[in-house]
Amino acid sequence: MRRFKHWSGRFLKWSLALIAGFLVLSSTLVLMLRWVDPPTSAVMLQHQISARLGSGEPLPIHHEWVDWERIPGTLARAVIAAEDQRFPDHNGFDLVEIRKAMAQAQAGGRLRGASTISQQTAKNLFLWSGRDYPRKALEAWLTVLIETLWSKQRILEIYLNIAQFGPETYGVGAASWRYLDRPVSAVGAREAALLAAVLPNPNIYRLDAPSARVRRRADWIGRQMRQLGERPLR
């Protein structure tokens, strides 16, 4: 019994030390990225590793960082209209959409996602793909950190630079050159809505050959942009 208490005490001590270390390390990393632009993301690295393991060949990644000052306001507004219209107001979790998703599931419908731009940024930047509970718990913690330590503008800036817009294409800088043949600073409202229209699933919704569904979604995003208007990000 005494030996059990000894080892259980040591296990608890080391567990608490590991948890404390993780909290400090993750907080430090997120705080650093408030000013330092991430050169890549977990999603990009995961896709590169999968390609290397599958074919043995390196995967060409199209990615170009674009500072906030060079991103048109219409493009930022288009992504908010498409992905997370309450982004300027919530604290990382859209409780309204969460309640709607739960009610739909309880009524027998398909459980749909209710991830915010903040949650997607945490997932794409730091985590692996999947719906397992450990990943969701880490996503929630990192979302809290991001919302606490970054401004809304910084969250959106990083999201726009790491979101996938097509096969091996990440960020608005690479997407605007690859699919629109122009720098992101020259993207207009219609093109911005088209870029935002593929974000739910860029492997299905394509910018190189936009389907009728993508164009209809772009039209809807354009209407939402006009209704939302320009709203400052804190």
When mean pLDDT is compared across 4-8, 22-26, 29-33, 67-71, the lowest value belongs to: 4-8
Kindly tell me if the per-residue pLDDT of 213 is higher than 90: yes
Calculate the CA dihedral of residues 129, 53, 162, 32 and round it to 10 degrees.
90
Q: Based on the domain organization, do 105 and 27 belong to the same domain? A: no
Could you tell me if 44 and 158 lie in one domain? yes
The answer on 101 and 19 residing in a single domain is no
Q: How many residues does the chain have?
A: 234
Q: Transcribe 110-167 into DSSP letters.
A: -------HHHHHHHHHH--SS--HHHHHHHHHHHHHHHHHS-HHHHHHHHHHHSEEET
What CATH number is attached to the domain comprising 47? 1.10.3810.10
Q: Which domain holds residue 222?
A: 38-228
Q: Is residue 8 domain-shared with residue 98, that is, in the same domain?
A: no
Indicate if 17 and 63 belong to the same structural domain: no
**Residue 54 within a domain:** yes
Please report the pLDDT score of residue 129 as a whole number.
79
Considering the domain boundaries, does residue 234 fall inside one?
Answer: no
Q: Is residue 100 part of a domain?
A: yes
The reply to whether 92 and 74 lie within a common domain is yes
Q: Are residues 210 and 105 in the same domain?
A: yes
Q: Is there a single domain that holds both residue 15 and residue 114?
A: no
Residues 19 and 45 in one domain: no
Instruction: Tell me how many domains the chain contains.
Output: 2
The residue type found at 148 is T
Q: Are residues 1 and 84 in the same domain?
A: no
Question: What tens digit of pLDDT does each residue of 186-206 get?
Answer: 999 999 999 999 998 888 898
Which residue carries 């990393």 as its tokens?
29
Contact 207, 179 (CB under 8 A): yes
pLDDT at 166: 92
Q: Are residues 49 and 16 in the same domain?
A: no
Global pTM reads 0.91
pLDDT at 51 over 90: no
DSSP tag of 59: P
Across residues 104-118, what is the average pLDDT? Answer: 71
Question: Positive or negative CA dihedral for 162, 51, 205, 128?
Answer: negative
In a domain, residue 233? The reply is no
Q: Are 113 and 175 in a shared domain?
A: yes
Could you tell me if residue 223 is inside a domain? yes
Least confident of 21-35, 72-86, 95-109, 190-204: 95-109
End-to-end CA, the chain:
57
Give the burial class of 99: count Cβ atoms within 10 A of its Cβ; 0-12 exposed, 13-18 middle, 19 or more buried.
Answer: exposed
pLDDT digits (tens, 9 = 90+) for 33-47: 999 999 999 999 998
The answer to whether 42 and 171 have CB atoms below 8 angstroms apart is no
